[in-house]
Amino acid sequence: MEPLAVEARRKAALTTPSRFPPEAVKDISAALTGLLADTFALYFKTKNFHWHMSGPSFRDYHLLLDEQAGQIFAMTDAIAERGRKLGGTTIRSSGHIARLQRLLDNDAAYVTPQDMLAELRDDNERFVSFARQTHGLCAEHGDVASTSLLEQWIDEGEQRVWFLFEICRNT
């Protein structure tokens, strides 16, 4: 293949056929990309706390956080691919995630187990609120497939919040 043809293909716009108007594609894919950044932030924080858990309930909390991290990570590909199916773009790097994430990282050298669980509870609550906002936007544009996916992720997030709330309840 000639070098000019290769260079032209590299610069060509990603054109995925979509039944949605360009403004809807822009709005929905941007919302999904923001949610994806938060999903990665929540995943990494959950794994961080999983790796650094300690104390008498170590095994139970360690296993719970590993299970929750797996559930969170499982959303990432579906979120990114949904944005692409619509004709938009998605996350391109860890720097892109850092610029878009609304959930804060926790790089502290030590966090108590109860503080870890409470922070994850609060972050999961925020994540659910971001997912609900995205759901509303998708519903406005008639994007039934995205709303359906988001409903599942909202339910999963509410379950994570419930488990973390109940664990933190007696402290």
Burial string for 52-62 (b: 16+ CB within 10 Å, else e) reads bbeeeeeeebb
Concatenated DSSP letters for 99-149? HH--SPP---S---HHHHHHHHHHHHHHHHHHHHHHHHHHHHTT-HHHHHH
Separation CA 39–CA 18 (nearest Å): 25
**What are the structural domain ranges in the chain?**
21-168
Q: Report the number of secondary-structure helices (H) and strands (E) in the chain.
A: 6, 0
Tokens of 150: 């988001």
Tokens of 107: 């790089």
Per-residue pLDDT tens, the chain, 171 aa: give them: 576 666 766 665 666 778 899 999 999 999 999 999 999 999 999 999 999 999 999 999 999 999 999 999 999 999 999 999 999 999 999 999 999 999 999 999 999 999 999 999 999 999 999 999 999 999 999 999 999 999 999 999 999 999 999 999 975
**Eight-state DSSP code of residue 57:** T
CATH topology of domain 21-168: Ferritin (1.20.1260)
pLDDT at residue 22 in the model: 94
pLDDT at residue 170 in the model: 76
* Residue 58 CA: distances (Å) to CA of 42, 45, 63: 20, 17, 8
- pTM score: 0.90
